[in-house]
Amino acid sequence: MSENPVSYLDQSDSVRDRFTRLRQRPVVLQVNNLCKQFDHGGVQTTALHNISFQTHRREFVCVIGPSGCGKSTLIRILAGLETASSGEVLLDGQPVHGPGPERGMVFQGYTLFPWLTVKKNVMFGLERMGKSYGTAEAEARQWINMVGLEKFENHYPSQLSGGMKQRVAIARALAAQPRILLMDEPFGALDAQTRARMQAYLLEIWKNIDVTILFITHDLDEAVFLADRILVLKAHPGEVQELIEVPVPHPRGPGCLLSPEFLATRAHIEQLIHPPAEESYSLSEEHLNLVRMVKVGDAVSTVF
Amino acid sequence: MAEPWFAARRALSPRKRLILSILSFVLPLALWSAVSYSPLLWHPEVLVSDPGSVSYFSAGMRVDKKVFAEESAKAQAAGLPVPQGEPTNPVYLPAPHEVAKAFYSAFTTEPRRSGEKWLHESLWDSIQVIFWGFMISSLVGVPLGILCGTYDAIARINEPFIEFFRYLPAPAFGALAVAILGIHDAPKIAIIFIGTFFQQVLVVSNTTRKLDPALLEAALTLGAKRLALLFRVVIPGIVTDLYKDMRILLGWAWTYLIVAELIGTSSGITWFITQQARYKNFDNVYAAIMIIGIIGLATDLLLAWLGKRIFPWQRSV
């Protein structure tokens, strides 16, 4: 517990306690040596290489990495929408093949069914489970209440804002009572304010429901704010770079964004994703080779 | 107010749109009226009212303007009575008011021969042929198209042949259809079917493929399996586009009607048109052609209006 400077490895006693307890919880998702190669006209590219990690029950794990690190491919394999080239995915110890309702998914593009009302969208998974219309409707109402959209249950998705759509998508995925909720940059298309509100919502929901969340993002603040642990990937090929335990204590509010633990963790990930070695490369990009495109003797010669 | 009339991909104000929509009908009508009612425009013939001394003229006869002028000059030179007449358009271009009258009179004109059909009976025949041809085609074509668009295996075994068959012109099967199905309505329905079906399968399968695959993925992660995927996601997901396709395809079916009705015993609206043209009742011919247009447009508008009611989620889009 050194005072100054704070490292992302420093954990307060309560945080360290929490991680000790967290590690003792049963493992929900276990990923072993997952590899994925794509074949582009005979040229093999490795999207994911030897990814291994596990998530514990009710844990919130974020996956972050530069573009091209295969984080979307990873979550699609976990959801069963793509198949891995090798390696295995175990859910509660059982290998998974293909998509299934025990791994719910929230997509960046909302993917609500436009022909169904909010209520019917949330009922979709419940009805697939074989529940009667009445039961499904009653349960759907509870989930809709939970995301605060009871006034909109008979609206169609096209009548909702982006944030509302994503709340319906979360309610719809949770209604099927998945063991793990996979979220693929769910707030990426939202404006900054709505995104902040949705992050707070999500933490609130997660606290109240027995669900494990695996959350993909490219936003550092989002990852540090939400996660218990952060899986940092690197690109070409996509590999696990580090699995970080976030030392920011719960409950987290807007105030924690400026806490020393938050800033230290953020700085560390920043450095992992954009290492200083690449500085010379990015520096040359800052000084773009521009020809001055103003007329000689232009009235405004400089913007400063 | 200073809103321009021409701005790329910008919608005009409702008032301007209405004005232009009305003009799109009024302008051709105005042109037609101008040619019909102003003697200075076109009018290449003379309608003889009094033959005068010209032996082969008779009252009510249409003669070429030049011939009339020559004969008039000849008669004048010989000091004989000069033929009288006024400029007119050829018989195949009746004036708007004559066609307008024909809209009513065509329905009330008794058929020339007993056993022949009244206009409304002919029209009803045509509508039935279209209906059955389109119905049978859709009953098979729409499900097949959806299956082709959903399952690659079904697409691969059907589409190559359909792709080939759709280039065979439907009317070419006329003689064959008559040989197999007789001379009455069956071969006509078959022509409409052939003309519609093969396009329909391909159009529907294409529409099905355009469904956002992310919706299927979302459904899979919610536990939807085979049939639920087809009936709960694919079909409701494409139904609005499918409806639009059907409106367009119904228009195509109408274009095959005229050919279909000439096959075997000619019947329906086509029979009426050819019959009236034979009697030189061109006002009735125009009226009948326009009735087809009106039925087509009215059906489409009705379907568009119905569509908004059947698919409520489209209303707010």
Query: Which residues on chain A are in Cβ contact (under 8 Å) with B228?
Result: 128
Q: How far apart are CA A43 and CA B119, in angstroms?
A: 69
Q: Of A84, A283, A273, A72, which is closest to residue A188 (Cα–Cα)?
A: A72
Partners of B240 on chain A (C-beta within 8 Å) are 115
* Closest chain A residue to B240, measured at CA: A115
> Which pLDDT belongs to residue A224?
94
Evaluate if residue B254 carries a pLDDT over 80.
yes
Counting Cα atoms < 13 Å in the Cβ hemisphere of B293 gives 8
Contact B223 A109 (CB under 8 A): no
**Looking at the complex, does the CB of residue B212 fall below 8 Å from at least one CB of chain A?**
yes
Report pLDDT for A13.
85
| Mean pLDDT rounded to a whole number for chain B | 91
- Selection from A137, A86, A130, A82 nearest residue A105 by Cα: A82
Dist CA B72 CA A264 (whole Å): 110
Give percent above pLDDT 70 in chain A.
90
Residue B203 clears pLDDT 60, i.e. is over it? yes
Q: Establish, for the pair of chains A and B, how many residue pairs have beta carbons separated by less than 8 Å.
A: 74
Does pLDDT of B270 surpass 70?
Answer: yes
E strand or H helix that includes residue A76: helix A71-79
What is the SS3 assignment for A7-72?
Answer: CCCCCCHHHHHHHHHHHHCCEEEEEEEEEEEEEECCEEEEEEEEEEEEEECCCEEEEECCCCCCHH
More confident residue, B155 or B109: B155
Residue A78 to residue B182: CA distance in whole angstroms: 62
CA–CA separation, A226 and A218 (whole Å): 13
B215 touching A (Cβ < 8 Å)? yes
How does residue A294 score in pLDDT terms, banded at 50, 70 and 90? Answer: low
Q: Which pLDDT score, from 0 to 100, does residue A297 have? A: 64
- Contact yes or no for B237 and A99 at CB 8 A: no
Q: Which residues pair with B88 in a beta bridge?
A: B45
What confidence tens digit (pLDDT) does each residue in A218-258 have?
Answer: 899 999 999 999 999 988 888 888 899 999 888 888 888 88
A125 neighbourhood in chain B, CB within 8 Å:
222-223
Q: SS3 letters for A178-193?
A: CCEEEEECCCCCCCHH
Choose the CATH number for A13-102+178-286 among 3.30.1360.20, 3.90.1170.50, 1.10.1740.10, 3.40.50.300. Answer: 3.40.50.300
Give B235 to chain A, closest Cα distance, Å. Answer: 11
- Whether residue A284 is predicted with pLDDT greater than 60 in this model: the reply is no
Neighbours of B315 (CB within 10 A): 11
**B135-162 pLDDT, tens digit each:** 999 999 999 999 999 999 999 999 999 9
pLDDT of res. A51: 93
Please indicate whether, in this complex, the C-beta atoms of A80 and B220 are within 8 angstroms of each other: yes
pLDDT score at B317: 41
Mutate to test the interface with B, among A82, A96, A110, A113 (most CBs of B within 10 A): A113
- Report the chain A residue with the minimal C-alpha distance to residue B235: A115
Q: How confident is the model at residue B315, as a pLDDT?
A: 62
* Whether A143 contacts chain B with CB within 8 A: no
* Cβ contact B94:B282 at 8 Å: yes
Q: Which amino acid is at A277?
A: A
Cβ contacts (< 8 Å) between A156 and chain B: which residues?
312-313, 316
Cβ–Cβ gap A101/B221 under 8 Å:
yes
Cβ distance B316 to A111 less than 8 Å, yes or no, reads no
Q: CB distance from A25 to chain B under 8 Å?
A: no
Looking at residue A281, its pLDDT comes to 52
For an interface test with A, give the residue of B211, B212, B222 to mutate (most A CBs within 10 A).
Answer: B222
pLDDT in tens, B34-54: 999 998 899 999 999 998 888
End-to-end CA distance of chain A: 46
Tell me: pLDDT of B117 over 90: no
Per residue in B57-104, pLDDT tens? 988 899 999 999 999 999 999 988 899 999 999 989 999 999 999 988
Average pLDDT of span A77-101? 93
State whether residue A186 sits within 8 Å of chain B by CB. Answer: no
Burial letters B126-145, b for 16+ CB under 10 A, else e: beebbebbbebbbeebbebb
Quick one: pLDDT band at residue B114, thresholds 50, 70, 90?
confident
Cα dihedral A105, A106, A108, A111 sign: positive
Considering only A1-10, A136-145, A220-229, which range has the smallest mean pLDDT?
A1-10
pTM above 0.90, yes or no: no
**Which pLDDT belongs to residue A1?**
44
Q: Does the interface ipTM go beyond 0.95?
A: no
A143 min Cα distance to partner chain B (Å): 15
pLDDT at position A175 is 94
The answer to whether the CB of B200 falls within 8 A of the CB of B249 is yes
What type of residue sits at position A275? Answer: P
For residue A2, what pLDDT is reported? Answer: 44
| Residues in Cβ contact with A22 at an 8 Å cutoff, skipping those fewer than 6 apart | A56, A59, A228
**CB-based contact (8 Å) between A188 and chain B?**
no
Residue range A71-76: average pLDDT? 92
Structure tokens at A284: 């040359």
Which of A81-95, A272-286, B215-229 comes out lowest in average pLDDT?
A: A272-286
Sign of CA dihedral A250, A75, A222, A146: negative
SS3 for chain B, per residue?
CCCCCCCCCCCCCHHHHHHHHHHHHHHHHHHHHHHHHCCCCCCCEEEEEECCCCCCCCCCCEEEHHHHHHHHHHHHHHCCCCCEEEEECCCCCCCHHHHHHHHHHHHHCCCCCCCCCCHHHHHHHHHHHHHHHHHHHHHHHHHHHHHHHHCHHHHHHHHHHHHHHCCCCHHHHHHHHHHHHCCCHHHHHHHHHHHHHHHHHHHHHHHHHCCCHHHHHHHHHCCCCHHHHHHHHHHHHHHHHHHHHHHHHHHHHHHHHHHHHCCCCCCHHHHHHHHHHHCCCHHHHHHHHHHHHHHHHHHHHHHHHHHHHHCHHHCCC
Bridge-based pairing state of the strands A103-106 and A180-184: parallel
pLDDT of residue B207: 97
Residue with the two structure tokens 């008039």: B72
In this structure, are residues A122 and B222 in contact, taking their beta carbons and an 8 Å threshold?
Answer: no
Is A162 an 8 Å CB contact of chain B?
no
Q: Quote the mean pLDDT of chain A.
A: 88
So what's the pLDDT on residue B316? 44
Give residue A304's pLDDT.
Answer: 73
Q: Is B226 on the interface with A (CB under 8 A)?
A: no
Q: Which of A111, A115, A123 is nearest to B312 (CA)?
A: A115
Q: What's domain B108-314's architecture?
A: Orthogonal Bundle (1.10)
Answer whether residue B232 shows pLDDT above 50: yes
pLDDT bracket for residue B27 (50, 70, 90): very high
* Facing A101 at nearest CB: one of B223, B233, B316: B223
Whether pLDDT at B7 is above 60: yes
What is the distance between the alpha carbons of residues A260 and A267, in angstroms, rounded to a whole number? 10
User: Residue A5: is its pLDDT beyond 80?
Assistant: no
Nearest by CB: B215 against A81, A100, A111: A111
Q: Which of B307, B305, B192 is nearest to B251 (CA)?
A: B192
Pairwise CA distance, residues A265 & A8, whole Å: 5
Each domain of chain B, given as residue ranges in start order, spans 45-88, 108-314
